[in-house]
Amino acid sequence: MSDYPYVIANLFVLLIFPFGYLFMPRLKNRQNRIFAHLLILQIVLPPFDFAVGWADAHAAAWTLPVRIVYSALTLLSACWFFVFTTNILRLKAEDVPWVRFSPAALIVSGAVTLCAACLGRVELMYSLFRLFSVCWSAASLFLIFRFRDRLSRYERVSAAGSHVVLLAGNLVHIVFPSHLLVSTANLMAVINFFLAFENPHLYMSNRGDSFNVRAFREVMEERVEKNSYRLLAFALRDYIDMRSIYGGAQMDSGVSMIGRFLVQTYPEYQVFYLRSGRFVILGPESMDWNQMQQEIYDRFQAPWIAADAELDLNALFIQVEPATGLDSVDHILNYMLLAFENAEETLSRPDGLIDADSIRKIDRQIKIKRSLDRCLEHNEVEIFLQPLIDSRSRMLAGAEVLCRIRDEAGKLISPAVFVPIAEQNGCINLMGEQVLEKACQFVRDHNLDEIGLSWLNVNLSPIQCMRKDLGERFATILEQYGVSTEIIHLEITEQSVMDISRLEHQIQVLRRIGFRFSLDDYGSGYSNLSRVKQYPFANIKLDMGIVWDYIRDKDVLLPTIVQAFKKMGFSVTAEGIEDAEVADAMTALGCDYLQGYYFSKPLPVEEFVTKYTMLRQYT
Ligand code: C2E
Ligand code: MG
Ligand code: MG
């Protein structure tokens, strides 16, 4: 006799939980579809528990089809739990090749179970489908363990817990067939999965029924893979300023109103709020975004009335589709962010659509970022050398190490473009270390006397100085190549935004290790004469701007500054020497070293070595 009270309890839970779920806002993605199927199976299964229990008690011949359908549904449910698990683990065919065979495994196990039924071996049929269900759970547990890094701790525990419960339910049923615990176990697993992966609170932004960034990522990952999406994104103009004008609470309710307006106006599309006044509407490729943009633009012509306040807001729009050429969700998010940031400067169109020039600028920035990542990953950053010439003898004295990267087509990209990007996203540390390593490699592999080189100047970004262990890391690199700190000098540009005390401290640390410092780009804007004294610089490099100003209008400012530096004990280098007149003028002012295109542009290492080795031999 079967144990019906479990099933009755399950039915009560099923009345509340799944129906609630079905009426909540849901993302249109694969994970959700699989979960909805799983839920439907759990709603269908309990009546079969009753039917099969009754059929077992009466053992009539006509009950066989009921038992077969029940077995098939239970097997399907076990398999569907497995499919859900592979989905939350974001498994790809290349991760675990055997997962591809799961449909075949389901068909074979179903057929074997059916054969047992056809042979009239009902007990064997029950045991078989329970056994196959145990196998699905065991396979799921294996995958959860193998790819545990892809889940958060909570998700991991929930997913593994669900499968342990499923496994236990089936084992109990094999040992005690009259206890109808399998549906209860299934239900517990579904609720557990719901809480960890499907709970709307995980996906909803708290702005007017729209979804959040996590939801955007999950949905877009699938869409980008299939190359089928259209996005209309817009950002509230001057969001930060508007927030301080209207106040946080009012602005929040205004943003919620916009969210609700979008969800209600476009129920067939998915609306996401990506924080800081940025919305995205995702539709199929057939979406008419021009019309939609016009409608939203028109709505913005009237104020948003929230909590007794009228909010007058404007929006900037951008359209993104696969043809835009972005191959990951991160790139899409980055692209939209850059578009909105740059649009504020360049926007000229009255309809608020970000213009083609801005888009081109962003495209270029994204391409540069990609090239930078690629070069750093493969250690492909190159160094070029530019001579530092002794002003009196006009002979080579030192050289500045200048880094270069190449784009996909192999064309050189200027550091003036990629260094600021590297500084912004933190990869300047890795870049700086690779440049220093290559400079050390150059010193190790060449006879500097034959070239006439006494030292190399390596640029150090102030951002690198934020790293506490910078000194140790640099010392280790020099040690590794057997290079003395006497040969490597560091050039640093003072920047107003810097944490001055941290910068001072780092310079002192590096000084103690033995590095000598040059102050780069003096006169380019941030330099402060009185601060120069505080740092232990050995050399000051005059920025080419200040040099060229002097050539145009020979006032007393630059001569006075150079004399002051010399009295303070610094040597002085003039940058941007493009012709003989400038070279002579800077020599006359007392500059010790000269750098510029007049002597040489930055050269690839081997070209530099050949040129200066030959020059040395002929002089
Ligand atoms: P910088 O350190 O002031 O380097 C001098 C820049 O001026 C170089 O540009 C050089 O090619 C250019 N230059 C030299 N002589 C002349 C001249 O006569 N006329 C003109 N118009 N320009 C001249 P480059 O190589 O494009 O580097 C730009 C900046 O990128 C550098 O300015 C430096 O701040 C940064 N940078 C380069 N390599 C590195 C590096 O390895 N690490 C860091 N942190 N920054 C680097
Ligand atoms: Mg420099
Ligand atoms: Mg410079």
Hey, whose CA ends up nearest to atom 28 of ligand 1? 416
Atom of ligand 1 nearest to the CA of 460: 44
Over 50: is that where the pLDDT of 236 sits?
Answer: yes
Q: Classify 586 in phi/psi space as left (phi over 0), alpha (psi -120 to 50) or beta.
A: alpha
For position 424, what pLDDT does the model report?
82
Atom of ligand 1 nearest to the CA of 602: 11
Q: Classify 585 in phi/psi space as left (phi over 0), alpha (psi -120 to 50) or beta.
A: alpha
Helices 356-377 and 428-445 sit at what angle, rounded to 10 degrees? 50
Residue in the block written with tokens 């002579």: 584
Hey, whose CA ends up nearest to atom 11 of ligand 1? 602
**Residues, CB-to-ion distance under 5 Å, ligand 3:** 520-521
For position 212, what pLDDT does the model report?
95
For position 455, what pLDDT does the model report?
97
| pLDDT, average across residues 204-220 | 91
Q: Percent of the chain beyond pLDDT 70?
A: 93
Overall pTM surpassing 0.85 (yes/no): no
Beta strands in 146-215 (DSSP E): none
C-alpha to C-alpha distance for 411 and 110, rounded to whole angstroms: 59
Residue 232's DSSP bridge partners are: 281, 319
Q: What single string gives the DSSP state of each residue in 370-435?
A: HHHHHHHHTT--EEEEEEEEETTT--EEEEEEEEEEE-TTS-EE-HHHHHHHHHHHTTHHHHHHHH
| pLDDT, average across residues 69-83 | 91
Over 50: is that where the pLDDT of 1 sits?
Answer: no
Closest ligand to Cα 489: 2
Q: How far is CA 226 from the centre of its chain?
A: 20
**Helix (H), strand (E) at residue 49:** helix 30-58
Q: Tell me, what amino acid is at 376?
A: L
Closest ligand to Cα 464: 1
Task: Say if residues 89 and 147 touch (Cβ distance below 8 Å).
Answer: yes
Atom of ligand 1 nearest to the CA of 383: 41
Q: Say whether 242 sits in a helix, a strand or coil.
A: helix
**For residue 37, which of 8, 88, 76 has the smallest C-alpha distance?**
76
Q: How far is CA 12 from the centre of its chain?
A: 44
Q: Say whether 504 sits in a helix, a strand or coil.
A: helix
C-alpha to C-alpha distance for 269 and 279, rounded to whole angstroms: 13
Ligand 1 lined by 548 (C-beta under 6 Å) = no
Over 90: is that where the pLDDT of 53 sits?
Answer: no
Hey, whose CA ends up nearest to atom 8 of ligand 1? 402
Cα(414) to centroid(ligand 3), Å: 14
- What φ, ψ does residue 220 adopt, rounded to 5°? -70, -30
**Helix (H), strand (E) at residue 81:** helix 64-88
Hey, whose CA ends up nearest to atom 3 of ligand 1? 521
For position 321, what pLDDT does the model report?
87
For position 461, what pLDDT does the model report?
92
Hey, whose CA ends up nearest to atom 20 of ligand 1? 576
* β 382-390/270-273 pair status: unpaired
Closest ligand to Cα 595: 1
Cα(399) to centroid(ligand 3), Å: 12
Highest-confidence segment of 114-128, 334-348, 434-448: 434-448
Taking the CB of residue 611, how many other CB atoms lie within 10 A of it?
16
C-alpha to C-alpha distance for 354 and 319, rounded to whole angstroms: 9
pLDDT 10s digits, 297-349:
999 999 998 766 788 998 989 888 888 777 889 888 988 888 887 776 655 56
| 69 token code pair | 């359908």
Atom of ligand 1 nearest to the CA of 575: 15
Ligand 1 lined by 254 (C-beta under 6 Å) = no
Top-confidence residue, 394 or 524: 394
Over 60: is that where the pLDDT of 2 sits?
Answer: no
- Substitution candidate for ligand 1 out of 418, 419, 494, 594 with most atoms within 8 A of CB: 419
Top-confidence residue, 501 or 345: 501
Atom of ligand 1 nearest to the CA of 543: 3
Taking the CB of residue 538, how many other CB atoms lie within 10 A of it?
14
**Helix (H), strand (E) at residue 294:** helix 289-299
Q: Percent of the chain beyond pLDDT 90?
A: 55
HEC sequence for 459-500: EECHHHHHCCCHHHHHHHHHHHHCCCCCCEEEEECCCCCCCH
Range with lowest mean pLDDT among 256-265, 280-289, 478-487: 280-289
Ligand 1 lined by 521 (C-beta under 6 Å) = yes
- Substitution candidate for ligand 1 out of 404, 575, 582, 599 with most atoms within 8 A of CB: 575
Atom of ligand 1 nearest to the CA of 521: 3
- Substitution candidate for ligand 1 out of 459, 470, 474, 492 with most atoms within 8 A of CB: 459
Atom of ligand 1 nearest to the CA of 428: 44
Range with lowest mean pLDDT among 21-35, 200-214, 344-358, 445-459: 344-358
Hey, whose CA ends up nearest to atom 44 of ligand 1? 461
Q: Say whether 168 sits in a helix, a strand or coil.
A: helix
Report CA torsion sign: 568, 569, 575, 577: positive
Q: Hey, what domains does the chain have and what are their CATH numbers?
A: 5-201 (1.20.1070), 213-354 (3.30.70.270), 369-617 (3.20.20.450)
Cα(405) to centroid(ligand 2), Å: 17
C-alpha to C-alpha distance for 254 and 314, rounded to whole angstroms: 12
Ligand 1 lined by 416 (C-beta under 6 Å) = yes
C-alpha to C-alpha distance for 144 and 89, rounded to whole angstroms: 7
Between the alpha carbon of residue 497 and those of residues 341, 432, 462, the distances in Å are: 20, 20, 10
| pLDDT, average across residues 239-249 | 87
Mean pLDDT for all residues in the chain:
88
Over 70: is that where the pLDDT of 457 sits?
Answer: yes
Q: Classify 94 in phi/psi space as left (phi over 0), alpha (psi -120 to 50) or beta.
A: alpha
Quickly state the pLDDT bin for 532 (edges 50, 70, 90): confident
Taking the CB of residue 435, how many other CB atoms lie within 10 A of it?
21
Taking the CB of residue 618, how many other CB atoms lie within 10 A of it?
5
Cα(586) to centroid(ligand 3), Å: 16
Cα(21) to centroid(ligand 1), Å: 60
Q: How far is CA 541 from the centre of its chain?
A: 37
* β 270-273/278-283 pair status: antiparallel
Cα(402) to centroid(ligand 1), Å: 6
Cα(371) to centroid(ligand 3), Å: 24
- What φ, ψ does residue 100 adopt, rounded to 5°? -60, -25
Quickly state the pLDDT bin for 179 (edges 50, 70, 90): low
Hey, whose CA ends up nearest to atom 32 of ligand 1? 416
Ligand 1 lined by 415 (C-beta under 6 Å) = yes
Task: Say if residues 381 and 404 touch (Cβ distance below 8 Å).
Answer: yes
Cα(582) to centroid(ligand 3), Å: 16
C-alpha to C-alpha distance for 7 and 45, rounded to whole angstroms: 10
- What φ, ψ does residue 402 adopt, rounded to 5°? -120, 130
Q: Cα 490–492–497 angle (5° rounding)?
A: 155
| 317 token code pair | 């729009």
| 516 token code pair | 């000598």
Ligand 1 lined by 402 (C-beta under 6 Å) = yes
Cα(508) to centroid(ligand 3), Å: 21
Cα(384) to centroid(ligand 1), Å: 10
Highest-confidence segment of 228-237, 320-329, 407-416, 578-587: 578-587
Q: Cβ contacts of residue 179 below 8 Å, gap of 6+?
A: 3, 6, 172, 173
| pLDDT, average across residues 79-91 | 95
pLDDT 10s digits, 143-155:
999 999 999 999 9
**For residue 372, which of 428, 448, 455, 294 has the smallest C-alpha distance?**
428
Hey, whose CA ends up nearest to atom 15 of ligand 1? 596
C-alpha to C-alpha distance for 276 and 550, rounded to whole angstroms: 47
| 562 token code pair | 């150079």
